[in-house]
Amino acid sequence: MHRAYDKTERHLDCIIEHCIVAVAFFLPLSVNFSTGFLIAGVAFWLLKMLLSRNFMLKRGPFDGLIALFIAISAASILVSPDMNYSFYNYYHLMGRYIFLYYLVIHNIQTPEQLKRLVWSVLGSAVPVMLYGFYQYLFGVDIAVLEWVDGEQFPDLKVRVFSTLQNPNLLAGFLVMMMALACGLGCKVRQASRRLLFLLLFVLLGICLGLTYSRGAWVSVAFVVGLYGVLYNKKALWLLILIPIGLFLAQDAFTERLMSIFNPTDTSSTLRIALWESTLAMIADNPVLGIGWGAYWLVYPQYDFFIQDAATTIFHAHNMYLNIAAEIGIPGLIVFLLILCGHIRTAWLLINTVNEGWPAGLLLGLISALAGLAVSGFTDFIMFNVQMSMLFWLFNALIVVVWRQGYQMKTERCLTKKM
């Protein structure tokens, strides 16, 4: 009987792991597929707990903050102009994020499982990148999609977005994948693996350039600078190559980047106007905000710039202002504590984990989350469900390494005592 139960538990563990790996792979490809595998993974996890009659969850370092974030976000629904919509949006999205986070940290327990999951994450970037190249080669009519000011950028005809909804989302995804590939490439010992990660980094960087996303370009420059500070100062030389690359690049690249400093650029002007409107929302609703997911409902009341009722603005193009507007300043503070807490944990772990793979993974995760934090000043890519799920997945990976590092440290202490 006991032997039969052990066999069943092993089968369930295998199924749950495969579901998690599938979620990670399909995340940028299909939100429906990834959600389906997430539901399946959670269902099998609950079945495993039911069969073992063990419903105790392992304590993590951020459980309290996450519970507080869930509670504050739920409370904001009470002040939403459409409580039914906010509640529907809340339980659909928050459920995805939290279930994914805890599914990963409770069921990815060995270094081998962690490696398979990370390979799945990086593997998902390959079809995304290839489809981006396909779009560039065969063309995408961006004039219809209104992603570019045609008068200011007449030479810019194609902006790739691949499997994601727009170029900025693709760019945010690519920055995080580049950071992960670079971290692993810096730390792994095998020369062939290093070459593979370097090649992936370069190809992802080329695809990133084709998004023409200025904020993401700044983010990846920050990531490179961060590697120079944290890992090897020689990486800082790459920043010197940027102006040389711009000199040799197409005019469209140079014009697009330099437009950051152009006050007449329509995109920059719109962002500043949205930030002013969002600050007004925060000033009027500082504690609970305007309601979870309710930005597009409330914006018309604060439309100081567009003044067109037919135009719908879904987010503030600033992660920090958007979060503060929707769930209040306390909610933003808790979110920042969660983000910074995971980054700090990863940084402390790097100094204790000597092995190449986990150290490289942690370095990549730190840079990916830092890149996300930088891009948050000019955009809010976590408005997208897939990017938010990726954010929570990366945080979960840090906790998985933390658990494994803690276990290894405990085992070493026990071995010394024996």
207-239 residue pLDDT tens: 998 998 888 888 888 888 888 887 777 666 666
Q: What is the pTM of this model?
A: 0.91
Please tell me whether residues 34 and 168 are part of one structural domain.
no
Report the share of the chain in percent with pLDDT over 90. Answer: 65
**What mean pLDDT value characterizes the chain?**
87
> Rounded mean pLDDT of 269-278?
93
Domain edge (last residue) among 38, 56, 74: 56
Please tell me whether residues 180 and 265 are part of one structural domain.
yes
Tens-digit pLDDT profile for residues 24-68: 999 999 999 999 999 999 999 999 999 988 878 888 999 999 999
Whole-angstrom Cα distance, residue 156 to residue 165?
Answer: 19
Please tell me whether residues 32 and 152 are part of one structural domain.
no
Alpha carbon separation from 261 to 12, 68, 268, 319 (Å, rounded): 55, 39, 9, 21
Please tell me whether residues 356 and 394 are part of one structural domain.
yes
> Rounded mean pLDDT of 252-271?
65
Whole-angstrom Cα distance, residue 133 to residue 170?
Answer: 12
> Could you tell me which of 236, 173, 172, 185 has the C-alpha nearest to residue 361?
185
Whole-angstrom Cα distance, residue 204 to residue 132?
Answer: 10
State the DSSP code for 232: -
Please tell me whether residues 114 and 159 are part of one structural domain.
yes
* 152 or 129, greater pLDDT: 129
Please tell me whether residues 123 and 22 are part of one structural domain.
no
Q: What residues make up the domain containing 13?
A: 1-56
Please tell me whether residues 13 and 157 are part of one structural domain.
no
Question: How many domains does one find in the chain?
Answer: 2
Q: Is residue 250 pLDDT above 80, yes or no?
A: no
Q: Is residue 267 pLDDT above 90, yes or no?
A: no
pLDDT-wise least confident of 145-159, 268-282, 345-359, 384-398: 145-159
pLDDT-wise least confident of 82-91, 294-303, 348-357: 348-357
Tens-digit pLDDT profile for residues 126-139: 999 999 999 999 87
User: In a 3-state reduction of DSSP, which class is residue 169?
Assistant: helix
> Rounded mean pLDDT of 254-279?
75
Q: CA end-to-end span of the chain, whole Å? A: 34
Please tell me whether residues 68 and 150 are part of one structural domain.
yes
> Could you tell me which of 123, 103, 98, 102 has the C-alpha nearest to residue 13?
103
Please tell me whether residues 43 and 175 are part of one structural domain.
no
Whole-angstrom Cα distance, residue 38 to residue 16?
Answer: 9
Please tell me whether residues 364 and 311 are part of one structural domain.
yes
Under the banding of pLDDT at 50, 70 and 90, the label for residue 378 is very high
Please tell me whether residues 51 and 64 are part of one structural domain.
no
Q: Check residue 144 and give its pLDDT.
A: 47
Tens-digit pLDDT profile for residues 162-214: 999 899 999 999 999 999 999 999 888 888 999 999 999 999 999 998 998 88
Q: Is residue 335 pLDDT above 90, yes or no?
A: yes
Please tell me whether residues 167 and 203 are part of one structural domain.
yes
